[in-house]
Amino acid sequence: MSFPVLTTALDLLRRAAEGVPADRLDDPTPCDRWTVGQVLMHAAGDQHAWAASVGAGTVPAYNPFDPPRGHEDGVQSVVRSAIEAAAAAWARVDPAAGPVDTPLPPVPTMDPQLAAATCALDAAIHAWDVAVATGQPAPLTAELAGQLMPAARATAEPLRGFAYAAALPAGPGDDPVAALLAYLGRDPDWQK
């Protein structure tokens, strides 16, 4: 795949999903009123939606913004399938081509690099949500957060209220990870 930031983010999502014990799927997350299982199903749905938008794949049979708590095939299997679909779809996208379609109604097309970074933003942020909710190491690095911030700034505002919460105030001296999380309405110090 020609989008390294997306490759990194999809791997973080895969590792976070694989690190969730079955008895932790109902744990709370930084996403208000969403369980670990719901965040994982949402993240899988988003990756399927991105794959379908850039030309290969199908949208999930459920609403990613009202996801089920689990799946008969296992949440990790659903996430793995979504990651594979996204990787296959993005492998067909020329980074230098014209705009690609997105699953984001307020931003229906984007430059391929920005679109891939926006898809990566979704995967990486949900990897963080799941990791911190289940006691795994926080997966975001300062470098990755810096690469994702332009996508966040390009897309978060029109998606606030249903995809992102209101931005939290940035703290003095926030590192890039804390700044990105706060911009997306997440408390960088969240604990359950």
pTM for this one? 0.94
What is the C-alpha separation between 168 and 124, in angstroms, rounded? 19
Topology of domain 4-141, CATH? Four Helix Bundle (Hemerythrin (Met), subunit A) (1.20.120)
- The residue ranges of every structural domain in the chain are 4-141
pLDDT above 70 (res 112): yes
In a 3-state reduction of DSSP, which class is residue 50?
helix
Other beta carbons less than 10 A from residue 141's beta carbon = 15
Query: Which one of 11-15, 31-35, 95-99 scores highest in mean pLDDT?
Result: 11-15
Are 2 and 72 in contact by the 8 Å Cβ rule? The answer is no
pLDDT class for 63, splitting at 50, 70, 90? confident
pLDDT tens for each residue of 67-76: 666 666 788 9
